[in-house]
Structures are given as structure tokens and as C-alpha cells.
Chain A
Amino acid sequence: MSEQHTVHRFYVYKRYERFWHWSQAALVIFMMLTGFEIAGTYEIFGFQRAVELHTLAAWSLLILWAFTIFWQFTTGEWRQYIPTLQKVDAMIRYYAWGIFRGAPHPYRKTPQKKHNPLQRLAYLALLSMVSPIIWGSGLFYLFYAYWKDFGIDRWLTLEIVATVHTIGAFMMLVFFIAHVYLTTTGHTIFAHVKAMITGWEEEHEPPAAAQSEHKPR
């Protein structure tokens, strides 16, 4: 492989986006920490405090999401999450094989298309499956005190809600593990994390590869 990389920097993650990402990350991690305590896995804060903190974090995340949905639509960034199957096979091949051989990343990130096809599929699964499971069950859980007023207690039990919520939590934890690991697959271990902090992505591509990627579609 040629030693003469073309390094150019471009701005991918805007300020709000980074704020959103990192505050969401903190909240999700904290909610997993308190949530698994509420489920009885360990004791850190004590049940009552864990419930209080989990509830506060949930409201914070809901507010954050309200702003973020607004941001996604006003900026048009929501299009980043439109799924595609193009090059998914290449992505899978890359993570299963190419990455060990030093093969180039099959997807070139641009500010317009900052998610690779696997990411798009993963985020789609997160948005369309994990989120509804967690938020749906979580809101029922949160408003358990009001079930009677709406007759919900006649057809729903706390056990079902708690079980579904726990399933969602495990999905989130598995996503979290994979997500964090995949941040290390950039051109350096911390390249992706750095980009997520600064907003600037550095592209290291051999000139040939870069050219091929720049071909118009």
C-alpha cells in the first residue's frame, strides 16, 4: 500500500449533533446503570434513588429527543437514517475479513452520507425496534400510578411491562457494546471518537482509492 495518504479534513458532525450524541450517550449509559439496579441486578444507589435517577434521566432524554427530532427535520439530517441495502454485503465482508487484511473501508463517509449502510440498518433497528420497546414499556412503567384512571390495569400487568422493558434494555446494552467497539475501527483506535468530539473527520485514503470513490454515481 502506498505510504502517501491523501489526508483531508471535513466537517461531518455539527455542534448540536455532537451535543445530542454525547448527552444521549451519557443518559443511556446512566439509565442502563440505574435500570439494571432497579431490575435487581446489583445495588449502587439503592432502589429508591435508582428509581428517582432513572426517572429523571428518562425525562431528560425525552426532552433531548424533542429537540433532536426538531433538529433532524429542520436540517434535513433525518435523511441520514434512510436505510439502504447497497454495499451491505461489502460492509459485512469488510468487518468479517477485510479489516484484518488492512483492506480499505468500502464506504466513504461524506457530510451528506455520514452513515455506512450497516450503520443505517443498525440505527433503523434501534429506532424502529429497540426504542419503541424501551419507550413504550418505559412510559407505561412510569405512569403505572394512572393505569386505573384509564382502565389499563384491566388488560395490562406490571410484569409484562417490566419484562418487555428488560428485553429492550438488554437490546440496548448489546447495541452499546457493538457501537463502542465499532468506534475503534477507524484508521486509528480513537479516530471515530475524535471525530464525534471535534466534528472533523480526517480521511486517510490512498489516492487511487480516493479517486475511485469520487466517481459520480
Chain B
Amino acid sequence: MRTVIRQAVRLVLGAALCVLGSAALAATADHTKFKELQGPFSSGEEVTRACLSCHTEAAKQVMATRHWTWEYENPLDGTRLGKRTMINAFCIGDRPNQAFCQSCHVGYGWQDDSFDFTAEEKVDCLACHNTGGYRKLAGLAGHPAYERMEYPPKSGKFVDATDLEWVAQHVGATSRETCGSCHYAGGGGDGVKHGDLDSSLNAPPRELDVHMAADGLNFACSECHKAEEHVVPGSRIAMTAADPHGPIRRGQHSDRNPATCQSCHGDKPHKQSFLHAERLNAHTDTLACQTCHIPAFSRGGVPTKMAWDWSEAGRMNADGKPFQLKDDDGHVIYDSKKGSFILGENVVPHYQWFNGEITYSTLDTVIDPSAPVPINTFHGDARDPRARIWPFKLFHGRQPYDVEHRQLLVPHVATHALEGSDTAFWLNFDWPKALQAGAEANNRQFSGNFDFVDTRMLWPITHMVAPAEQAVACQECHSASGRLAGVPGIYVPGQDGNQLVRTLGWLAVIGALLGVLVHATIRILTHKRGN
């Protein structure tokens, strides 16, 4: 019976998605009719083999992308980047938590370094191309549930087995939902990391995102992040800070990043107001489009984490059990597993110069614990023609570091990471064990002496573009203590002014008024006396 209901729900969902999808993309192939997809399938890999029997080059293409490798070399300084090795100020690091974190890998089975990156059937086509009914569970190293199982473990909640045949027969183009299943959930939950990406973008109103508005343009992510050979452009790892060019015309060959605002709008997009068009267009030499057109992030009702203090983690309640605290809206603000959080909604961004160059703290970086450690550093200043003032989410972290080596540490946190181990922090709340396991997995030494250090991490804000009429108003910056207060190298009328000129100017005005007043008083007095 349950299966019947499930099927019915999926049919309705599928039909709805087909209606939605068909308007944008009228497919010429009905995958339900493909004999290759009739199944039965017992694993994701079997589905992938079926996909590859027609889409022969797809796996090779995916394997060349960062979605597969989680690895990237920073052209600036040669540091190895990518999720595989990078650290952040949220869940801190991937190794040795792969089985947990790799639920967002476009593959099956990456739970340790033995993963075969050349096995084509390990590529997960369904993660991005499902139209519903497919979910990769944390802890299963990228696999969905193949049988009914309790999830999260010991939660008393159950997840049904994935209907792989149905999912395979109903594949489609990527959607906000499929991209969002990972990109909304970075940092361990909806909206946690980015601030401008969360599930409110699945069906956003126009005010939240003018491009993705369900009742408007209804863009999928791929409308801007236009993939070619499965390479998805527009990553925050390698950003285009300034794109001072006109729009890319349809059919025009271009090496430019197609995900920039300018690739469609051009760099002089303001035309509406005779009085302001040129003035606003002149602002594009200084400001990123996002700076005015995203007045605040986390506007869709899903809060984002603004701060995360790991040093608070591990407290137990009166019964000696881990616990959670929630705010008035029901959002977790303390979790024994993770520490305490500060959440934010409708957050006004932090603004700073950015020229496209980013450097990152790695596990090798020697830190100065006396000051907040920048997990990432966005470079650029006012004199740099490639730089613009960008909006950012400024995230405050507090995370473990090795006091003797003065290096940041990655804890082993996730329960399922190492079979039979007792090092996972979320299981036994023992920092030294968790940090030792983390160091080993990353081939680093742990002195055993650790503490927590304040960290900062910046997240460029580029989604949740508001309609033009809700862009940041002039006086938001052009006023005393405006939004750009403290950004160096700019003169903002209404905010800045030469203090000496102002002082002398007003003294002169007061002097003139006093002079006039005294002169008039004497005139009145002498006139009366004369009478």
C-alpha cells in the first residue's frame, strides 16, 4: 500500500515537473520508453552503466570537472584547493569525514583514499539529473538508500528504498532542486554556508530573486551557469570580479565566464532614467552589480549561520546526554555536536574590494592565534582596475588549532566515517581523539596540545538578485555612516567631505551671519536714538 501511495505521489510530482519542464525544454526522448532504463537496478552504478550505454562521453566529461575531483590548483600561489583538502570555518574539513561529506560528491562510494577516480560507473548521473525521488544520504558515501533504513541513525525516522527504475526513467535537465540539494546545504544544512543560496530559491517570489522567480523568468541555475561538456562555470573558487564588457550575443564565441551579470546585461546596463543612467553606469567602474542589486542576503525565510563557535561543543545536559537549543523560530542555536551558532536573516552584506584573486589558509598555514585567522582572503584595492567593491557574508568562526604547530586542525566528526572507530567527535565528544584522527587522515602531525582560535571566512554574495526597484537606494551609501563606510580608496558624496573645508566654511557662514546681525543691531539702536 505504501508503495502505491509513493508511486502516486511521484507520478503527480513527476507530471507537475514535466509540465513545468516541457515549457522550457521540449525533449525529443521519453526516457520511460528506453529499454535500458526498465531495470531492475540494485545500485546507482547499474543506473550509470545504463546511462553511459547511450551517453557514451558523459562520465569522461564529468570526471574532468571539480564536481568529480574536488580538487583545484590556485593559479595564484599553487596551493591545492578544492573540497578534498580545503578547510573552512563550518564543518572544517572533508578528511576523514568522507563518508558523510561525500553525500555531495557526484559519485558513488568515495569514503576513503582508495576511491577509484577512473571508474566510470562510479559517476552519479542521477544526483544532478533526477526529477525527484532521489536523495544521497550523509554517511553513505554518495549512495542513496537502496533499502528502507533508519535515517539519521537511531533517530526513529525511516527513509524508503530509492525507486531507481522510476528515477532513471524520469531523468531531466538539472534544476534548482538538484543543484540546491548540495549547494543550498553546504556546511551541514539549509542555507548554512552561503547566505545567498537556500531552499527558498526552489520557488522564489520575484522580490527574492528576479531571475529565478517561479512566477517570472523561472531561471534554472544552468541558465547562467551554462555548462559545456559538464563543466559548470561560475565557481566561487575562481571568480570573475570585474567583467567590463558588453553582453555576449547568442552564438558568439567567447572565453568569458557566462555566469557574470555582464555576460547578459553588459557593463553599461542602466538605461531607464535619463537623469541617472550615465551616473549609474559610471558606478560599474567601482561596484560589482551585486553590490546594489542584492540589498540583503538570506531574504527568503531561511536563516544562514553568521557565526559558529566549535569551542562550545561537547556540553552535556543534566542527564549526561548531548542536546540542542533552539531559538524562538525553532532554529538550532546550540548543538552539543557542533557548538553554538549565531543565525542571520535579511543580513546587510559586508563590502570590500575584490579583484578576483583569492588565497586560502590551508592545513599548512602557520597562523597567528592572537588575531582572527582569515580562512580566505579576497584581494584587491581601489587602484586595481580589475577590482570592484563586492558584497560578502562575513562569517565568524571559532575552531580548533594545534597550539604547538600553530596550524588549524580538522576534527573527525561524522559518525560513520571510520568503521568501528571511536574517534568521531559526534559519537564520543572527545576532542583529542577526534583531532588526532583528523590529523592522521590528512597526513599531518598533532602535538596533542590544542585550543580554539577565532577565524573569519568571506562568502561572496551573488544570488538573490532583487528587482531593480528594490536595489540599494543611493542614500544607503551616500550618507553619513552609509553601507560603504570604511571601504578604503573611494570618495562617496554625502558620506565623505573635507572636514577642514566644512569647518572653515561654516565658520565663514556663521561669521557672515554674526556680522550682519551686529550691523543690523547697531542700525536699529542708532536709528531709535536718532528718532
Query: B95: shortest Cβ distance to chain A, in Å?
Result: 49
Which residues of A lie under 8 Å from residue B279 when comparing CB positions? Answer: 51, 144-145
Interface string of B473-502 (1 = CB under 8 A from A): 111001110000000000101111110011
Q: Mark A23-58, 1 if CB is under 8 A from B, else 0.
A: 000000000000000111001001110011001100
Q: Is B451 among interface residues, defined by CB-CB distance under 8 A?
A: no
Q: Which residue of B lies closest to A46 (CB)?
A: B475
Contact B526 A47 (CB under 8 A): no
The reply to whether B282 and A144 contact each other, CB–CB distance below 8 Å, is yes
- Measured CB to CB, the nearest residue on chain A to B277 is A145
Nearest CB of chain B from residue A78's CB, rounded to whole Å: 28
- Contact residues in B for A19 (Cβ distance below 8 Å): none
A150 CB-CB contact with B under 8 Å: no
- Whether B501 contacts A163 by the Cβ 8 Å rule is yes
Shortest Cβ gap from A44 to chain B (Å): 12
Also in contact, A184 and B520, with CB within 8 A (given A46-B475, A47-B479, A48-B474): yes
What mask results when residues 178 to 191 of chain A are scored 1 for a CB within 8 Å of chain B, else 0?
10010010000000
Q: Select which of A51, A101, A145 is within 8 A of B278 by beta carbon.
A: A145
Contact-residue bracket for chain B:
35 or more
Closest to B517 in A: A181
Nearest CB on B from A40, distance (A): 4
Q: Is B149 interfacial (CB-CB < 8 Å)?
A: no
Cβ of B423 to closest chain A Cβ, rounded Å: 58
The complex places the Cα of A43 from the Cα of B506 at a distance, in Å, of 17
B282 engages A100 (CB within 8 Å): no
Q: In the bound complex, do residue B513 and residue A163 qualify as a contact, i.e. CB atoms below 8 Å apart?
A: no
Which residues 283-314 in B have Cβ within 8 Å of A in the complex? 285
> Whole-angstrom distance between the alpha carbons of A170 and B501 in the complex?
9
A3 CB to nearest B CB, Å:
14
Q: Does B227 contact A (CB under 8 A)?
A: no
Distance to closest chain A CB from B469 (angstroms): 13
Q: Complex: how many Å from CA A100 to CA B493? A: 45
Do A162 and B475 form a contact, CB below 8 Å, given A178-B516, A181-B519? no
Residues 38-84 (chain A) with a chain B CB within 8 angstroms: 38-40, 43, 46-48, 51-52, 55-56
Q: Are B479 and A177 in contact (CB under 8 A)?
A: no
B521 to chain A, nearest CB (A): 10
A86 to B87, CA, bound (A): 82
By a CB distance below 8 angstroms, the chain B residues around A167 are 501, 505
Please state if A177 and B516 are interface contacts (CB–CB under 8 Å). Answer: yes
Contact A166:B502 (CB < 8 A) given known A40-B497, A157-B491, A181-B519:
yes
A101 CA to B512 CA, complexed, in Å: 22
Residues of chain A in range 83-103 having any CB-CB distance to chain B below 8 Å: 95, 99-102
- Residues 261-291 of B at the A interface (beta carbon under 8 Å): 275-276, 278-279, 281-282, 285
Residues of B participating in the A interface, judged by any CB pair closer than 8 Å: 275-276, 278-279, 281-282, 285, 473-475, 478-480, 491, 493-498, 501-502, 504-506, 508-509, 511-513, 515-516, 519-520, 522-523, 526-527, 530
Q: List 23 A-B contacts (CB under 8 A).
A: A40-B480, A43-B475, A47-B473, A47-B478, A47-B479, A51-B275, A95-B519, A100-B526, A102-B530, A144-B282, A145-B279, A159-B496, A162-B493, A163-B498, A167-B505, A169-B505, A170-B501, A173-B509, A173-B512, A177-B512, A177-B516, A178-B516, A184-B520
- State the 7 A-B residue pairs at the shortest beta-carbon distance, nearest first: A170-B505, A145-B282, A47-B475, A48-B474, A159-B491, A100-B526, A145-B278
Beyond the given A166-B497, A178-B516, could you list 4 further A-B residue pairs with CB under 8 A, ordered by the A residue number? A55-B275, A145-B278, A162-B496, A177-B509
